[in-house]
Amino acid sequence: MLKNVSRKQLNALPSLVVSDEAGNLFDLPEYAMLARSGNEFVIPEREAIIPLPYGSDLHVLPDRYALGIDRRSGKIKTLKSYRGMKVFAASAFLAPAYTALYLSACKKKEGARALPLFAYAAVGFDGKDFVAAALRVDNDKRQDCENFDQAEIIRRGKKLLKKYKGNRLTTHLIENCAFDYLCPAARNWVMGRWEAPVPVSVGCNSECRGCISKQPEESDIPSTQDRLNFTPTVDEIVQYCVPHLESAPRAVVSFGQGCEGEPLTQARLIEEAVREMRKKTQKGTINLNSNASMPEAVEKICNAGLDSIRISLNSAQERYYERYFKPKGYGLSHVKESMKVAKALNKWVSLNYFIYPGFTDRADEMAEMTALLKEIPVNMIQMRNLNMDPHMYWEEMEMGEVKAETIGIRKWMEKIKEVRRSIKFGYFNPPLMK
C-alpha cells in the first residue's frame, strides 16, 4: 500500500481514465486515479475533485502510458495495455475560469513527440461522470460555454462585416477569430458584450516556449492559431472599440491577444489609439495584456488613458522566467519596473500567472512571488493554466529530478492572501468601476 493511505481512502478515489488506440475514453474501476505535481506522482485529496466543468475537453495523450493505483495492492501501476488492448493516458483541458490543481499522471514513451499547447489536468471517473482535479477561480461567466450560440454569432458577425466593411481588423476578428478559432473574446464582441479583443502586433521581442501563434520552424509543436499578418491603423481600432466601450455591458477592450505577438512592439500605435478612444468616450475599461518589457512605453500608454494592464509571468524567479520567455533586449527587472510604473499612475495591475501544480507552489517560487508582492501592490493574480506539455516544460526549466517542498495550489492561494490581503484571484480582466 502507498504510505499513509488507507484502503478506505483508496476505494473512495475516482477510477482511472484511459484511452484505446482509436481515441475512445473509458474508466478502469480496479484502478484509482493518480495525479502529477511537479515531477512527482501523488494522490489527489478528495476535496480537489469536482465534476468535469461544462465546456471542458477530454484529451488522449499519445505515446504516454497511464499511471493508476491498483486498488487491491495499493501500488502504482504503469498501464501499457489492458486485457490485451493497448491503452494510453488521458487528461482534461478545463473550461475557462477553472484552474488545475493537479496534472495528468503519465509516463512518456521514449521518442514521443511533444504534446500540443494545451493544459493537461488530471481526470477520473466517479461511477457516473467524469471528474477533474480543479478549482473555479472566477465566478464571471463571460466565457462559459452555454453563453455561445454559434449560429447567432455567425448571423450577427455577417451583419458586422457589412457595417465595418473595409476594416481589416474587424474582418480578422469575425472571420478568423469568431468563426474559425471560436475565440470567446471575439465571439463576445460580436454579441456586443463584455470584453472585446484588440490584436495589433505581428512581431514579438520574446520567443516563449508556449507561444500559441508562432513556433520556430524546427519546433515539433504546432501553433494553435495563425498570427495576425498586418498592422491595423488607429482608425480601424477606434471604429469598433468606441461603440463597444459606449454600449456593451461591463465593457472592456483589450490589446494583447493570442493571435498576435507582443503589443508593446506597437506601443506608439496603442498610445495613439488609446488617446483617440478617450477623446471620444470615458466609458468602459481599456486594458493591455503584455509582457511589460518596455517601462517607458507602458508609462506613455498609461498617461494616454489606459485603465489596466495584465502582465504575463511563468515564474517570479529570473532563471525560470528567461528559460520560458527567452526575452530579447529585456529582463525580469524591466517587467517589475513596468508594474511599478503602472501602480504609480494608479492603474489596475494583474499578473497573468501560468499555474503549474508542483512548480507554482514550491517553496523557492513562493518565496520570490511573495517578495514581489511585498514590493509591488499588485491588484490581482489571474490563475491561468500553463498551456504546454508538462514533461517538456519540466525539461525546459532544467528542473531535473530535484524534489522540493510543495503545499498545493489551494494552500498557496491562502499564503498569498496572508502576504497581500487585498489581492484578488481570478481569470479574466475585470471591468473597472469609475
| Model pLDDT, residue 219 | 72
CA distance 237 to 12: 54
CA distance 244 to 251: 7
By the 8 A CB rule, do 338 and 372 touch? no
Determine the residue type at 171.
T
By the 8 A CB rule, do 236 and 167 touch? yes
Q: What percent of the chain lies above the pLDDT cut of 90?
A: 86
Question: Which residues are within 8 A (CB) of 31 and not within 5 positions of it... i.e. 6 or more apart?
Answer: 15, 16, 68, 69, 70, 71, 77, 79
CB atoms within 10 A of CB 244: 23
What CATH number does domain 145-426 carry, 3.20.20.70, 3.90.1150.10, 3.40.980.10, 3.90.1300.10?
3.20.20.70
Task: Dihedral sign for Cα 403, 407, 413, 419, please.
Answer: negative
CA 37 to chain centre: 18
pTM for the whole thing? Answer: 0.95
- pLDDT interval class at 3 (50, 70, 90): low
Closest Cα to residue 55, out of 156, 125, 130, 3? 130
| Model pLDDT, residue 390 | 94
- In this structure, what C-alpha cell is assigned to residue 352? 497573468
Give the C-alpha distances (Å, rounded to integers) separating 285 from 51, 254, 309, 433. 34, 8, 10, 8
Q: Give 254's DSSP letter.
A: E
How many Cα atoms occupy the beta-carbon half-sphere of 132 within 13 Å? 26
CA distance 351 to 411: 19
Question: Which residues are within 8 A (CB) of 196 and not within 5 positions of it... i.e. 6 or more apart?
Answer: 185, 186, 188, 189, 240, 241, 244, 248, 251, 252, 253, 254
CA distance 208 to 278: 32
Residues 58-72 pLDDT 10s: 999 999 999 999 999
Closest Cα to residue 317, out of 305, 335, 338, 297? 335
Q: What percent of the chain lies above the pLDDT cut of 70?
A: 98
CA distance 326 to 293: 12
| Model pLDDT, residue 1 | 54
SS3 157: helix
- In this structure, what C-alpha cell is assigned to residue 329? 533586449
Quick one: average pLDDT of 258-267? 92
| Model pLDDT, residue 2 | 64
| Model pLDDT, residue 216 | 75
Where in the chain are all domains bearing CATH 3.20.20.70?
Answer: 145-426
CA distance 205 to 290: 11
Residues 143-183 pLDDT 10s: 999 999 999 999 999 999 999 999 999 999 999 999 999 99
SS3 11: helix
Closest Cα to residue 83, out of 126, 31, 121, 154? 31
| Model pLDDT, residue 97 | 98
Q: What is the mean pLDDT of the chain?
A: 94
Give the C-alpha distances (Å, rounded to integers) separating 71 from 138, 186, 366, 395. 35, 46, 35, 32
Determine the residue type at 313.
L
DSSP alpha helix (H) spans, 191-331: 234-247, 267-280, 295-304, 318-325
Determine what percent of the chain falls in helix, strand and coil, rounding each to the nearest 5.
30, 25, 40
DSSP alpha helix (H) spans, 136-266: 150-163, 168-171, 184-190, 234-247
Closest Cα to residue 269, out of 309, 307, 234? 234
Q: Answer with the residue of higher pLDDT: 198 or 4.
A: 198
